[in-house]
Chains A and B, each alone.
Chain A
Amino acid sequence: MPVIEVTKLHKRYGDLVAVDDVSFAVEAGEIFGVLGPNGAGKTTTVECVAGLRVPDGGGVSVLGLDPRRDAAQLRQRVGVQLQESQLPDRLRVAEALELYASFYRNPADPATLIDKLGLGDKRNTAYKLLSGGQKQRLSIALALVGNPEIAILDELTTGLDPQARRDTWGLIEQVRDSGVTIVLVTHFMEEAERLCDRVAVIDRGRVVALDSPAGMVSTVAPQQRIRFRPSAPVDDRLLTDLPEVSAVQRTGSQVVVTGTGELLHAVTSVLARHQIVAADLRLEQSTLDDAFVELTGHRPAN
């Protein structure tokens, strides 16, 4: 039973079609990624799910409820981190969290959350004086302070340094392990690969792929590459005869084999049969980056 169901969502701003036709379902307890180039309609989609924008067509159901009609109920149960949203300059970290906690029936403990997000020594700092990454962490904390069943996080780690990003991933995994369903909009393929159980790639208002990160890579960009230095001369044909191999190249003493499927197993077995040792062997697999480029024709922002 999915906790979020989006069917044939359509949303336009005047003449501009921001979301053309988007459908997906998010299962309870998963981390669901929404990827796509700038302006693809990601924010518009998740804000329709959050009940902040009214769709022009299609349906959205969250926890079996309607985000507009049952807004009051859903606001207790869904935490949202908006892509662009600030706080008053003079508001302090602890004040913001305590205030937001007071809106919910079963809030998380603000002090614990502050520590978890590494804002412990900033609890009495005014919002204006926080660094970009600290503001971002506060924003994540505000989305989680109501102990939501679903957290919608738009651009979770944009603006964070690599260490803070990894810490935040750890936090999100903890949140997921506590049973929260997470919808994550991101531009970072590494983040999606590490965190997401499934991802939807949206391009120009449509879902162009929906799969697990690994599944998406293997269907969209299945090419693998093996490099090694053979201990004895290898006849190219030995390798090209393998069904998994699509090409063999040589650079100096190095052999580069490109192919799909169980490429590594096939190549190493045939070499072993001929008593050839593969030194400096490296396997290069496609990543979600490659799949993203294949799907959208855009380089992911990094």
Chain B
Amino acid sequence: MHAFRNILRIEARLYLRDLPTLLTTVGLPTLILVVLGLVPALRKPDPTFDGQTFVSYFAPSLLVVTLAMVGVNMLPSVLATYRERGVLRRLATTPAHPAALLAAQLVLALAGILASALLLILVARLAFGVPFPRHPLGFTLAFILGTAALLALGLLVAAVARTAKAAQALAVPLFLVVMFFGGVYLPRFLLPDFVARIGDYTPPGVQALLDAWTGTPPQPLHLGIMAVIAVAAGAGAAKLFRWE
């Protein structure tokens, strides 16, 4: 526990030392929100979005940006790099277990995701009148399960990839898939219906987030699938993960 705390403190410091990356990771969704929000037409209620503004409709997709960057990109690449360079192995020679370093990375990934989401929700509310999630419990649940599913996928990538290069090779397509089905590249109302439906079940499950944000409870099936992905990918990662 003591070792974990010290490792967490040092790893947090290492992230703070790379400020540009940190700011991009936490702030990019909010930056996109602000740019879109400056277009007056996107702030007008529109029947296409059940009478909401485009900004409200698109906000959940912006949540996906940080989730994807942190979960399937940064987490596996940091872990694979640490393994490739023998950082985990060296830790294994000390009384601290390398699992403490993995746990610290997970905590920091979560902190980044949470900070980014809070910033987005706050700015959306204060600057563009997007209401706070109307179904807070459902939103929290959808967010937790979606995050868990993505982090578990990230861990699975880190477990399967033997080198940092291999991790990148797996992470990039996964990242693109998550972003695409999350409606980040093309807003989902522009996607063919069946593609949008696939997106409902692609982590982090943007439809459940949208539902809970705008007021209806998320559908149990949407949440259930995220839970299944999180458990399956997490179990696979735990089974396959190698410290060296």
B165 at the interface (CB under 8 A from A): no
Are A85 and B87 closer than 8 Å at their CB atoms?
yes
User: Which among A82, A90, A95, A102 has the greatest number of chain B C-beta atoms within 10 A?
Assistant: A102
B48 at the interface (CB under 8 A from A): no
Are A76 and B95 closer than 8 Å at their CB atoms?
yes
A75 at the interface (CB under 8 A from B): yes
Are A88 and B13 closer than 8 Å at their CB atoms?
no
Known A-B contacts A52-B93, A100-B94; the reply to A82 vs B6 at CB < 8 A is: no
Are B10 and A85 closer than 8 Å at their CB atoms?
no
Are A82 and B94 closer than 8 Å at their CB atoms?
no
B106 at the interface (CB under 8 A from A): no
- A residues contacting the other copy or chain, number (CB 8 A): 24
Nearest Cβ on chain A to B75's Cβ, whole angstroms: 15
Are A90 and B17 closer than 8 Å at their CB atoms?
yes
- Nearest CB in chain A to that of B101: its residue: A88
Task: State the CA gap A95–B13 with chains docked (Å).
Answer: 10
Q: Which residues of A contact B90 (CB under 8 A)?
A: 82, 85, 87, 142
Are A103 and B93 closer than 8 Å at their CB atoms?
no
Q: Which residues of B contact A104 (CB under 8 A)?
A: 94-95
- Nearest CB in chain A to that of B90: its residue: A85
> Which of the residues A76, A86, A90 comes within 8 Å of B87, measured between beta carbons?
A86
- B199-217: CB near A (< 8 Å → 1, else 0) gives 0000000000000000000
B228 at the interface (CB under 8 A from A): no
- B residues contacting the other copy or chain, number (CB 8 A): 20
Task: State the CA gap A234–B82 with chains docked (Å).
Answer: 70
Nearest Cβ on chain A to B109's Cβ, whole angstroms: 16
Are B93 and A95 closer than 8 Å at their CB atoms?
no
Task: State the CA gap A90–B18 with chains docked (Å).
Answer: 9
Nearest Cβ on chain B to A169's Cβ, whole angstroms: 23
Q: Which of B1-53 contact A (CB under 8 A)?
A: 2-3, 6-7, 10, 13-14, 17-18
> Which of the residues A72, A78, A86, A100 comes within 8 Å of B85, measured between beta carbons?
A86
Q: Which residues of B contact A76 (CB under 8 A)?
A: 95
Known A-B contacts A90-B18, A99-B10; the reply to A75 vs B95 at CB < 8 A is: yes
B144 at the interface (CB under 8 A from A): no
Task: State the CA gap A84–B82 with chains docked (Å).
Answer: 13
Are A85 and B86 closer than 8 Å at their CB atoms?
yes
Known A-B contacts A86-B86, A86-B87; the reply to A52 vs B13 at CB < 8 A is: no
Are A82 and B87 closer than 8 Å at their CB atoms?
no
Q: Which residues of B contact A52 (CB under 8 A)?
A: 89, 92-93
Are A82 and B95 closer than 8 Å at their CB atoms?
no
Are B94 and A75 closer than 8 Å at their CB atoms?
yes
> Which of the residues A75, A82, A91, A102 comes within 8 Å of B2, measured between beta carbons?
A102
List 10 interface pairs A-B (beta carbons < 8 Å), by A numbering: A52-B93, A75-B95, A82-B93, A85-B89, A86-B86, A86-B87, A88-B87, A103-B95, A104-B94, A146-B95
Interface residues of B (CB under 8 A from A): 2-3, 6-7, 10, 13-14, 17-18, 82, 85-87, 89-90, 92-96
Which 6 A-B residue pairings sit nearest by Cβ, starting from the closest?
A: A85-B86, A80-B93, A86-B85, A85-B90, A103-B96, A75-B95
